[in-house]
Structures are given as structure tokens and as C-alpha cells.
Structure 1
Amino acid sequence: MTLDARSLIKAYFAEGTLPGLPDGHFIGGRIVANSDGDRLESYDPGNGQAFARFGAGKGEDVSRAVEAAQQGLAAWRDTPPATRCQVLNRAAALIRERSDYFAVVEAVDSGKTLAEARGDARSCIRLFEYYAGIADKLEGRSIPLGSGLTSWTEREPVGITAQIIPWNYPSSTFVRGVAPALAAGCAVVAKPAETTPFTALLLAQWLHEAGVPAGAVNVVTGLGSDAGAPLVRHPSIAHVTFTGSVATGVGVMQAVAPNVTQLTLELGGKSPLVALADCDVDKAVEGALWAIFSNAGQICSAGSRLVVERSIHAEMMEKLVARTRTLKLGHGLKDPDVGAINSRQHLDRIARHVEAARGRGCSILTGGSATHDPASNSGWFFEPTIIDNLAPSDPAIQQEIFGPVLSVQVVDGEEEALAMANATEFALVAGIYTGDIGKALRLARSIDAGQVTINDYWAGGIEVPFGGNRKSGFGREKGIEGIDAYVRTKAITIRH
């Protein structure tokens, strides 16, 4: 696809669809029809209209994909690591060449802004390049056992991996698991969310074009109950990587237990952004703004709780409310600040959370209602919302809303800030804003989270390991640690 973004956007608004969208599963190196012919519609959250159809996969489609993966694994695991490196770099280059098309598809399918979708494309490129650099460095070690014995370890691929992909970051989460799996020599069967199927299908096609053997990467689309459930239960799956809700993650754990299948879980979050009295208030305000309103708050690691010291609370609220009210909502292809909510069902869920807070008498400083794209009066949107001065036990503090809703807690000092930061069942990410490096390091080491940033909530990147503790899940993705799930260590010893 060589069309530039401007031409694609113009054509999309004129025709209501996009060219080149896959209309089946990707199995065995090609697009194939659904086993029973059933199809689902994919909706553009920015206008609430269906723009394409895709296969409603079932157990039979999953079985075909796993069979193809078994054949693909046989070829790919024996591919020299240096060749795997070259293939993954070619995949990165293909995404770079087609990034306009890729970003437009992602924006239409997910509801996010085109700028955010472009950022996801860059993340995909970097992920493939990063794990391409690891593919030929999966080295073992020698073990000194004394005279007459030689012992060493080898790191080998675990086998066929299942990737259950969420709807909030459908492309970058796909690549976050697939790139290290392929670098290790594994095969993949992926099931994207039923509201965002298309970029996973495109990426699978482009990986095959880049040189990944037929069957080494497969994508089955459809409902979680019809396609995702039989995939994670399949006895030939060696590892499942799941990103989603705590409740569904618990179900996945139960489903894989009979097969003793390895598992990586990236689940919910209610991540604190701690603003201490000595912080740069303007930087903390800007950090808090985008920690919660990026991707319309639909981020597991969003800074959805602002834990602010009392002496700067009033100033921060005044500035943060003012900035929030400047944010422009709209269709993702029209360059807004904040895009749409991914589905009507999820929009209703966010609205119920906020309405319940209003019913409890909580102070809603700004926002608080579902709305539409002001240009078209259509689509699924929620106003950027701030709920102030909440008690630690309030549901808006304890429950993941997963939308553009910031819950504020007021504390007196560092010790109470730490207690509030750790006072939910989640432990995914935390941010700290302070001018005192000693306080920053004390808090960073004491807050229970898989990732902590200081004076820049979104600091880090592909190179930094990501994952949670407690009900935020277990296992790490990204960074060098991201490949650990896809390799196992074998010890070989010779007496001579």
C-alpha cells in the first residue's frame, strides 16, 4: 500500500471503508475463509459505523492454525539465528514503508488518534528491530564440573505460542509478543480482539512477505469465547501470552492449568502518579494530563490515580482542570487531542462508573458525561473527567475504569503518599514527581509496581521491561527480559 495518509483519509470519509483489508484468517501463509462462513462487522468508534467485515473464527479454525503452526515451527526453529535477525529487520522495514496505511487502519479500527496510531507503528518497528538484535545472542553457558565431565546449557524455543491481543493497543501488543517469540525460534497463533482485527492480520501477512515461513505466524479472528478459549486450551500450545482484564486472566489461568501451559499475564492497573510538594507543578500537571488522557485513558498502565500532596493540591487542580478543558475530542483521523472509546459497550461501562461516583456525592471537577464527535454528532466518546479528593476506599480509586477518568487523592507527606500508592490490588506502574532525588528513590524502591518512572510518567520504551505484580499479572514483556517467556534452558553433560 503506497497511498499517503491524506489520500487514504479523504477516500475513507468518502467511501466509508479502506482498501486492502484482509477478510479472513491468516493461516499457513495465506488468507483463508472462515470454516463455516460466519463473519463479524468491525466498527469505527469515531462514527459508530461498520466499515468492514472479518471472519468469526471457531474451534475448527483454531485447529487449522495450530496444525499450520506445527509445520511452521519445524522450519522456523531450525532457521539460523542470523537469518531470523534479517527477517525481523525486513519486517520492520516493511512497516516503515507502509506506515501511513498501517496507522490509518489502526486509527479507524481502534478509535485512537492518527498521531497515536503513528506512535504505535513506530513501536512495532522498534520492537522488531530490537528483538532482531537478540535473535543471534541467545547463548548458553558452560558449567565447570571437573575433570572428565563437560557440561553446558542451550536455550531453545518453547514451541507454539498463543497470543491473546487486547483492543487498546492491537498492533504494538501483537508485536510485543510475536517479535520475541519469533526471535527465539517459536511459532505463533494469535487471536486479536474482536473489535480490532485488522492490523494483526496485516502484520502476519507482512511477516510472511519478509521471510517468516508459512505457518510460523497465524492469526485467527473472532470472539474470545469461540476462538480465544479453544486456542488457550489447545494441548499443543506451549505458552500463552494474555493481555486483558483480571477476570478473563483468571479464566485463562484455569483453562491452561490442565495442560500445564506456561503463561504470561498482563492484566489491569490503577497506577498512581505521585506529586509531592517540592515537584515542578507545571511539569506534574502536564504529566498527569497525558498519563490519563492518552488513548482516551484506555491503557492498562494509565496514571489513573493522582496522589497529590495537600499543599499543592489546589494549584494542581486549577491548572489541571484548565488544561483538561482545552482538549479537543474528535474522530481519530481529524487530528484531535483525544480519540474515541473503542466500543459502545465500553463507553457505557465508563459512564456507569462515573454516574455511580456522582451518585455517591463525589466532586467531579470537569467532564463526567458520554458525548459525540462535535463535528459529526456521532461516535463513542467520553469527556475527559477529573474526580477530586476521593477516599482510599472509594470505588473510583479501587476499580479500574479504563477510560479518560482521573481519580484524585490528597495526602499529607511522603509516608502517606507511599501508603496510598500501594493501597489497591493492582501493581503495574507508578510515576513520581519530586525535586528531591532522595525522596524519589525511596518511593521508587518502596512502591509495589513492575515499572516506576520519575519526573516523566511515560519515560522508558521498548528496551525497558514491562509487567505487573499482584492482580496486575506476572511475567515481563519488552526489554531483554521479554524473550525469557519464549525460551527454555536445556542442560547437556558428557562424561569423557
Structure 2
Amino acid sequence: MSTEHGNYIDGDWIESESGETFAVSNPANKNEILGTYQQSTSDDAKAAIEAAVAAQDEWASTPAPERGAVLKRTADALEARKDELTKTLTTEEGKTLSEAGGEVQRAIDIFTYYAEKTRDLGGTMKAASAGNKQLYTKLEPLGTVSLITPWNYPIAIPAWKLAPALATGNTVVFKPASAAPGVSLKLVECLEQAGLPSGVVNYVTGSGSDVGAPLSEHGEIDAVSFTGSTAIGTIVAQTATEDLKRVQCEMGGKNPTVVMPSADLTDAVDIVGSGAFGVTGQACTACSRAIVHEEVYDEFVAEIVDYAESLTVGDGTDDVDMGPHVTESELDETLEYVNVGREDGATLETGGNRLTGDEYDDGYFVEPTVFSDVNADMRIAQEEIFGPVLAVLSVSDFEEAVAVANGVEFGLSASIVTDDLSEGHRFIEGVEAGVAKVNEKTTGLELHVPFGGYKQSSTNTYREQGDAGLDFFTSIKTAYLNY
């Protein structure tokens, strides 16, 4: 029998006023119910907001190093439960154990990082234009913030929003995605274990239409940080900014990797393959376009097909190469795009089928998929496909490669594989993406540098992670002290 989990509001684990719950199942075995969660209403969200507002002043007045100590104890609690959290993440989201373990470790590292950053929080002293005067700035929390997070990185993304929000003295209302809420619930448990005061973090599950609206509309919410689709993120941003809330939305991607003739082809295949098929392609930074110079195009296609066909697909707890899609609807969307690619005239080189038989029948498994002969205006080269589908395009020179890379509405992550240093620098200068990489896969981020996109990948307001994460959650006050 599965466990029923509550919302966390004002320091208590409670049921929704609706009395209704929803079930979360294992994507590798849909018959295995992992737990049930509260189907919350707008009234539940409002109660969470009220609790956060009530806790604002006390948490904001807590010395920053003391707040940091809570974050460090949270990191320690996460470390102690790492194996448990890794298994939870794998069984509810589908990542392999290796991928899930890496994500959990990232959450640990993020809380450790921001715990240390609390010692350096402060403003700057400036030279005044007259004697007997001090001129300086100080950082202040925004107040109460809402965090809306996706299912594909269900502990890392909450961590990189929660930790800087708490470090800077804000209180939080946090809504995870319904497809994979369990590992973030355990993150909240670790915060509670670390001694976080009641009301500082409040956790509410349920549908975006019921819970999400108050988190972007409510007058007591001072800022909204959202990660998810461009369509939903646009609505969140438009709603939140009606009363001038601070907003940060990170959204979709259609990320390219350019492969030039000077590249080591084996390295290029590994970089593209791991970026395209890692985490089942369910990453906003996943590589979905390989833009390959015509001189090496045929050889690259042959080798990336071999790479895709070498991957083992299965239950992530077996630590295979690629796990299942998180839900049947995500699987169906990937299969729909495979059909779109065929209809548009691209060549399906390998994959594209739902896996069936034996251990596959009760899960949401799909073959790694490679299309060649893709034109830049085809839908599979323009639209985000949140699955392991790679479109391979041919270009005649560097300039065309950059033009094709930029020829989409997204601009999140982009990479080039080349042994020409000049090409690497020119790519970084010319590509329209918030993250530009040379000889690295499009996925994978350092936690202490800014992350965010251009164009429809972001609201283009504030970045996440590193010092940029602190910037979003603070306001600058300038003080003039005439003594």
C-alpha cells in the first residue's frame, strides 16, 4: 500500500482542504504506485502564503551566517539520505541511478555553496562627496517568494532556487511538478530536520491550474521563480508582472552542437550522444540538433547511429544507459514528433519506436532516435522535443553553422566541437545562447556561475545560480549617513 503525503504549511504536514489526492507511479512500471499526494486548491496555496508572510520578519532578521548554518545542516541531512533520495528520484522520474545520484549530489553541493555565501552577504561602501558622511549599499530580502519547479530535475532545480532564497532571508511557497514530487518532499523534510523555523518554507502539491495561479497572482507574493515550458512560463510572467512582481522564468530550448571538420569525430559523437540521450533527452539543455559540416557529415551520421544503437534502455534502478520517459503523455509526444519527422521528409536512421515486450510493457520506454537529412525549417529542427530524438543537419561552412544554430526561437545552451581555437572563440561570440560551450556537451552546468537563456528560453530578467541567484532574491538599498 502506498504512503499518503501531506502538504507542509507553517511547520505542519497536513491534508488539503479538498480531501483529494493523486497518485504517482513508477515510469518503469506503471502498476507500482509510489505514493499519493495532496490535490491542493487555491485555498491551500493561500494558507501557505499566509504562513510564509507571517514568518517573514523573523527570518529576515536572523543573522545571515545563522541562516547559512541551517543550509549547511540541510546539506548534511541530504548527504546522510543520499542513497534513499537517489532511489526515490530514479523510481519516480526514471533517471538511471548514476544520473540520479549525480543530481542529488548537486543539491547537496548547492546547499553547501550557499551556506558559505551567507558569510559574504552585504553591500558596498562608496566614497561620499563630502566629509562627515558615509555612503553605502545594503542587500535586503524581497519578502515572500513562490517557486514553481519542473519534474525533470526534481531536486536540483528546487535546490538552486530554495538555497539562495533562504540564504538571503526570504520566506518561500514551493510547488513541485506533480509527476515527481517525492524527492522534493524529502528535501523539505531535510530542511525541517535542519531546524528551519515554521513557515519559512511551505510545500504545496497539486495542479498548476489550481495551485499555480495564486503563486503568481497573490498580492503578498513579492517574486516568482519558475522553470518549465515556454508556454506556461509566459503566462506566469505576464500574470506576475501585472502588479510589478519580480519574475524569473527559465523555459524551453532547442540546443545545437556544431561539429566542424577539425574535430576528433569520436569525441564529437560522445559529446553529441551524451547530450542528446542522457537523462532520456528530458532536459531543457539537451542537444536536439547536431549541425555537422558536410565534409564529415556522412561519417558522423554513421557513428552517431552506432552510438544510439549501443545504448541499453531499461529500468533506471538497473543503472542502464537510458531510462524511461516520466509519463505516458511525454512518451506519446516524443512518438508524435517521430511521425512528424517522417512526414516532413527527414530520414529516420534508427530508433523511433516504443519498446515493448518483457520488462518494457508496463513502462514508458522509447528507443534513442536519430534523424538525418533534416532541413533547418522542419518542425523537428525548430520545436523542442523533450525526449531522446536527435536531428542531424548538414552545413557547408562555419558561418552557415552559426546561422542555423541561431535560426530558432530558443537560445538556452549551445556547443561546438572543434580543434580550431579561432572557431571556438567566434562561436562563443556569435551564438545566440545564454550558455556557450566549446568541446563540451550542451547539458551539465557549474553551480557557481550564472545560468539562463536568450529569446524564448527565458524572461531575460535575472539569471539563476552563483551570485546571480542571490541577486534575484535581494533588493539593493542605498544609505546616506551624515554624521
- TM-score of the superposition, structure 1-length normalised? 0.94
C-alpha distance 422-128 of structure 1, shift in aligned 2 (>3 A)? same
Letter in 2 for 1:107: T
Q: Which of 182, 185, 193 lines up with 2:169 in the alignment?
A: 185
Deviations 1:271-302 (A, max 9, x none): 11011110111011001011011110010011
* Contact map agreement 1:466 1:478 (CA 8 A) in 2: yes
Match of 1:30 among 12, 37, 55: 12
Match runs of 1:389-408 below 5 Å:
389-408=373-392
Q: Give the superposition deviation at 1:453.
A: 1.2
1:335 aligns with 2:319: yes
Separation in 2 of the partners of 1:339 and 1:383?
A: 10
Amino acid at match of 1:63: K
List aligned pairs for 1:79-98, cutoff 5 A: 79-98=62-81
- CA positional deviation for 1:260: 1.1
Letter in 2 for 1:29: G
Aligned partner of 1:60: which letter?
A: D
Structure 2 letter corresponding to 1:366: T
Question: For residues 106 and 382 of structure 1, do their structure 2 counterparts lie closer, same or farther at Cα, with a shift above 3 Å needed?
Answer: same
- Give the drift of 1:28: 1.2
Question: Counterpart of 1:58?
Answer: 41
2:231 and 2:120 map into 1 onto residues whose CA distance is 37
Corresponding position of 1:10: none
Deviation at residue 441 of structure 1 after TM alignment: 0.7
Q: Are 2:286 and 1:299 aligned?
A: no
Find the partner of 1:367 among 351, 364, 383: 351
| 1:432 Cα offset (Å) | 1.0
Corresponding residue number in structure 2 for 1:382: 366
Q: 1:238 aligns with which of 205, 216, 222?
A: 222
- Map Cα deviations across residues 220-247 of structure 1 (whole Å, 9 max, x no partner): 0000101111221111111111111111
What is the distance in 2 between the residues matched to 1:44 and 1:229? 28
TM superposition shift of 1:176: 1.0
SS at 2:22 equivalent:
strand
1:111 counterpart = 2:94: yes
- The DSSP-based 3-state class of the residue aligned with 1:381 is coil
Between the aligned partners of 1:479 and 1:316, the Cα distance in structure 2 is 36
Contact kept? 1:44, 1:109, Cα under 8 Å? yes
What is the alpha-carbon distance in structure 2 between the residues aligned to residue 35 and residue 200 of structure 1?
Answer: 21
Q: CA deviation at 1:110?
A: 0.9
* 1:156, distance to aligned residue in structure 2 (A): 0.6
Tell me which amino acid in the other structure corresponds to 2:433.
Answer: A
- Residue 309 (structure 1) aligned to one of 290, 293, 301: 293
Q: Secondary structure at the match of 1:407?
A: strand
Q: Report the Cα distance in structure 2 between the residues aligned to 1:334 and 1:83, rounded to whole angstroms.
A: 41
> What amino acid does structure 1 have at the position aligned with 2:216?
V
Write the mapping of 1:234-313 to structure 2, written as runs, cut at 5 A.
234-313=218-297
Aligned length, in residue pairs: 478
Counterpart AA for 1:214:
S
Residue number in structure 1 paired with 2:118: 135
Helix, strand or coil at the partner of 1:370: coil
Paired residues for 1:33-44 under 5 Å: 33-44=15-26
In structure 1, give the amino acid aligned to 2:120. Answer: K
Letter in structure 1 aligned against 2:61: D
Q: What letter is aligned with 1:484?
A: D
Contact 1:113 1:332 in 2 (8 A): yes
Cα shift at 1:146: 1.8
- Counterparts of 2:360 and 2:353, CA distance in 1: 18
2:184 is paired with a residue whose SS is helix
SS for the counterpart of 2:312 is coil
1:183: how far off? 0.9
After superposition, what is the alpha-carbon deviation per residue over 1:474-495, rounded to whole angstroms, capped at 9, x for unaligned? Answer: 2211122121110110011133
Aligned to 1:48: 30
Partner residue of 2:106? 123
| Deviates most, 117-126 or 21-30 | 21-30
* CA deviations over 1:316-374 (Å, ceiling 9, x no partner): 11111111101111111121111111111111111111111112221011001222475
Q: Which residue pairs with 1:466 in the alignment?
A: 451
Report the alpha carbon displacement of residue 205 of structure 1 after superposing the two structures with TM. 1.6
Q: Give the equivalent residue in structure 1 for 2:471.
A: 484
| Percent identical | 34
Equivalent residue of 1:353, what SS? helix
Q: Encode CA deviations 1:438-457: one digit per residue, 9 max, x unaligned.
A: 11011111101111111121
Q: TM-score, normalised by structure 2?
A: 0.96
SS of the residue 1:465 aligns to = coil
Do the aligned residues in 1 keep the contact of 2:154 with 2:184 (CA within 8 Å)?
Answer: yes
Residue 149 of structure 1 deviates from its aligned partner by 3.2
Conserved 8 A contact 2:215-2:224: no
1:71: how far off? 2.5
CA positional deviation for 1:376: 4.6
Distance 1:303 1:78 in 2: 44
Q: Is the 8 A contact 2:344 2:378 kept in 1?
A: no
- Which deviates more, 69-78 or 389-398? 69-78
Distance 1:372 1:249 in 2: 35
1:413 Cα deviation after fit: 1.3
CA distance in 1, matches of 2:83, 2:481: 55
1:353-364 aligned within 5 A: 353-364=337-348
Task: Note the C-alpha offset of 1:22.
Answer: 6.0
Q: 1:491 to 1:210 in 2, by over 3 A?
A: same
In the aligned structure 2, how far is the partner of 1:42 from the partner of 1:239?
29
Q: How is 1:165-184 mapped onto 2 (pairs within 5 angstroms)?
A: 165-184=149-168
Q: Which amino acid aligns with 2:365?
A: F
Q: Describe the superposition over 1:107-139 as per-residue Cα deviations: whole angstroms up to 9, x where unpaired.
A: 111121121111111010011011111112122
Paired residues of 2:4 and 2:35 also in contact (CA < 8 A): no
Aligned in 2, Cα 1:106/1:273: closer, same or farther, shift over 3 Å?
same
1:178-224 CA distance string (max 9 Å, x none):
01101111111111111111122111121121121111111100001
Question: Structure 2 CA distance, aligned partners of 1:304 and 1:389?
Answer: 14
Rounded to whole Å, the distance in 1 between the matches of 2:360 and 2:389 is 24
What is the correspondence of 1:136-151 to structure 2 with a 5 Å cutoff?
136-143=119-126, 144-151=128-135
Structure 1 residues 321 and 116, CA gap change in structure 2 (3 angstroms): same
> Using the alignment, how far apart are the partners of 1:357 and 1:89 within structure 2?
48
Partner of residue 439 from structure 2, selected from 455, 462, 465: 455
Q: Which residue of 2 aligns with 1:5?
A: none
Distance in 1, Cα, partners of 2:360 & 2:432: 44
Q: CA deviation at 1:147?
A: 2.2
